[in-house]
Amino acid sequence: MNQWRYGKEMSNAQRYAIALVIALLAGALHWLLWPSVGALRPFVFYLPAAAVAAAALGPGPGVLLLLAGAIGTGWPLAALDAWTSPNGADPMRLALYLLLGGLLVGLGGSLRITRARAALAEDRLSMAIEGTGIGVFDIDLVERTVRASAVLARLAGAPVSNGAVPLDDWTARIPPHLLADSREHIKRRLKEGAAYYERELSVPSADGAPPRQLLLRVHVVWRGQRAVRLRGACVDVTERKRVDAQLEAAREQLSQQVDDLNHLHELSTQLLETPQLARQLRMILAALVHFHGARRGMVALCEPGADGLRVEASLGFDDAALAMAEGLSTGACAEACRQGARVVVEDTRASETFKACRDFFETQAIRAVHSTPLISSQGQVLGAITVHLDESRPPTEREHRLADICARKAAMFTERAHTRDELLATQGRFEAVLTSSGAPFVILRPVRQGERIVDFLWVYLNRAAAQALDCAPGEVVGQRVLQNASCRWMGHPAFSYCVTAIESAHTCEFDAVDHAGAEPRWLHCIASPIPDGLGVWFTDISERMRNEQLLRDSDRRKDEFLATLAHELRNPLAPIRQATLLAMSPHASEEQKRWSCEVIDRQVSHMALLLDDLLDVSRITRGALALRRSPTDLAGVLASAAETARPLIDAKGHQLLSFVDERPTVFDADPLRLAQVVGNLLTNAAKYTDPGGTIELHAGQRGDAIVIEVRDNGIGIPPDSIPEAFRMFAQLHHAGERTSGGLGIGLAMSKGLVELHGGTLTAASDGVGQGSVFTVRLPAGQASVPAPAGGDEPATRERRRLRVLIADDNRDASDTLAALLHADGHEVHMAYDGDEAVARWREERPDVCLLDIGMPGRTGHQVAREIRRSPGGGNTLLVAVTGWSQLHDRELALEAGFDLHLTKPVSPLQISHLLDHQRRPAATAAAP
């Protein structure tokens, strides 16, 4: 360390302490030599000390010594008075002392600063040389000595020396071959007269490490024609050389990667322009073979639904080699597909794993194999791409990376091709389904003006849609929907629904009406948004809409029927109640009571006829009405019908004209039902003809048919309402108040009865106010003449008193029937629930039981079963008397053990007739 640097690095206290010590030493010398120096005492010791202190310690310590000398030479000798003596000699010396001292202190301080700067510069240079690893040397060719820096000494493996070292000592440490090469190079440069040259040396390391690379820069000093000195620097460039080598390797690698990327980019462009998968795979394989520097390879794909591989693309193999390769089940391709990972065979001749493939490898001179699996985006192995090398070696990292890239490309295009094939197959199946589907389906594309949809274009129509629209698909595809005459139904509001479906991205269902044909056609549409368009399913619902309208009309007629039925059933109740009150009045005469009973009987008969008509209609509708055919006289049927309608005809003042063939006409028919039909037609004619009208009845045989016509000059029927007139519950609304009531079932029932006879009932009218004609046509057939009744049956039967049990929870109905039967001479017993009925039967053992079905306790069915299970129960006639009249109800009654099933209301005459039939067998059974 430089002493000036050391002094500079001391603290102020240390510097002033040293200055004080120097002052004390100077003072001691001054006292010791005081007699010898005399008047020059301050100049002898203190001035040099101050100069030395200023140069070594700084100006401060130098000034301190200067002041110490001034004080030390005057004050201890007690000569202060001499300094101030009048002659002024001592003050002059003091001034001179201070002046010289100041100059010396200033000079010493300047010297100190200069040396400090020099030391600092030297330190910086040394630090720079040490920090940069530059070794400096100076070779004296005349003295044959060397001065070398510490860095160079370390580089050369020589001891560090601050002085000159003999040149031979240095050269002894240099390897002989390197020393000889260096001397030869120096001689050549000196011979050339070079003033400066550079060269690189490779110096072996003593520790066996890689040799170090040194760069020498030499300056030759010439004296005349003679080189006297070699000065220069030496730098260890080993690290730089290593970095340069790495940079060069990286540059070469980067250049290789750029070439690879360019090749891959060109490959991608070519692949996009090639649609066939086989050509795409061959192009990818060619690129990978090129990257490996090989000449052969193949791409094998997995067979769908099989374990084998199919060579899809190859390079460098003939057909025989490919056939041999496809027959290998243990090759590198197959193994890569099984493992789903890369398979590398570095030396086919030494591989034990693929021993079965050696014949193929030897035949084709294959020495190494690099196979990479093709894996889809879903993780499925699609196949493998394989490169076959002519030399035994493993693939490089670059080849691994490029093989992965090419495998991904091959997998992507293979997967895309499979997806395209599946899509085409699915589309084909979809189109086949749509084409063969019976449901019409179309695809529409919106036509926009700005953001607004103004129309649609036909994109697709299936066969059913083309048939429904009565057009060929080629005629409308590409055309606008609203401009197509066959699709006017797509206008408002159907068009609005289609627009809403697209804008809201939701399915819309709606009905549209097509008025283009003779009759409106209803279409039910389902519009579903699809990419870039709209899919519309539609189906013809015209039949359904007509049926719904018929149901609504039927429902309306039902409501009208119920209202009419309530009216018709309510009308008889008023006279019945009034007649009952009159008969119960204590002031009523016998004549009035008799008249009241006749009114009640007449009104009840009217209500019974209404109910019978309803039951007949139900039976006709269900096909459960059985005709009682017999040889029928036409004149008798017409007379009975005219008698039925006569009260209404006379009440309205009509004239009934009959035109019937005079010769007798007998045919096979049910006379009661046929008279009911003609009576209904005459009654309707009387209802719908203004008072004082004319009704004509024409009848006779016309060929092989019996024809009956009823003509009137009444209100007539609108031609479009004629089919409606024969429907159930139909009412002629244009009749207004001319009608006198009715349930609207007469014509429907009459038509059903005529059809049961195998005939037809038709109506005709020229319009409103033009009258009507109803025509009945019946097959004439061959009627047999009934045989005269035998004379064995007596005119009157013997009456016998029977035991009758009546069970009904309606007390009024059961009590009145019991009174009637009791008046007829029968023994009658009553029960008002099922349990009581069983008990009374066991007590009385009646001949006949009249049982209601819906009773409290046990039902009528349960009572019948209990009686039939009891001893002697088979001798009792069980009759169900109920309001349930359906066929199913009759079957249930017979199944429970009833002998007969009667529907309420049951007339007393019907009950008397039933009991008359029961008397004789009972009497016979009871006879001894």
Digit-coded pLDDT (tens) for 558-567? 776 666 666 5
Mean pLDDT of the chain: 79
Helix, strand, coil fractions of the chain, as percent rounded to 5: 55, 20, 25
Q: CA-CA distance, 234 to 97, in Å (whole number)?
A: 56
CB neighbour burial string for 21-56, b if at least 16 within 10 angstroms, e if fewer = ebbeebbebbeeeeeeeeeebbbbbbbebbbbbbbb
Q: Is the confidence at residue 736, as pLDDT, over 50?
A: no
* Structure confidence by residue, pLDDT tens digits, 4-16: 444 445 777 887 8
Higher pLDDT among residues 492 and 525, named by residue: 525
Q: Is the confidence at residue 406, as pLDDT, over 70?
A: yes
* Amino acid of residue 335: E
Q: Is the confidence at residue 39, as pLDDT, over 60?
A: no
Q: Is the confidence at residue 542, as pLDDT, over 80?
A: yes
Q: Quickly list H helices, 720-833.
A: 722-725, 746-756, 811-823
Q: Is the confidence at residue 822, as pLDDT, over 80?
A: yes
- Specify the pLDDT at position 926: 31
Output the CA torsion sign for 166, 168, 172, 176: positive
The DSSP letter of residue 743 is -
- Specify the pLDDT at position 421: 82
The DSSP letter of residue 587 is T
Nearest to 642 by CA among 674, 591, 678: 678
Are 64 and 16 within 8 A, CB to CB? yes
Q: Which class for 741: exposed (0-12), middle (13-18), buried (19 or more C-beta within 10 A)?
A: exposed
CB neighbour burial string for 290-322, b if at least 16 within 10 angstroms, e if fewer = bbbebebbbbbbbeeeeeebebbbbbebeeebe
Are 211 and 219 within 8 A, CB to CB? no
* Structure confidence by residue, pLDDT tens digits, 82-141: 444 444 446 776 777 778 777 877 887 788 788 777 777 766 666 666 656 678 888 888
Edge-to-edge order in the sheet of strand 827-831: 827-831, 803-807, 848-851, 877-882, 900-903
- Specify the pLDDT at position 833: 92
- CA 21, 23, 28: angle at the middle one, nearest 5? 95
- Specify the pLDDT at position 7: 43
Q: Give 342's pLDDT tier (boundaries 50, 70, 90).
A: very high
Higher pLDDT among residues 116 and 742, named by residue: 116
Q: CA-CA distance, 286 to 295, in Å (whole number)?
A: 8
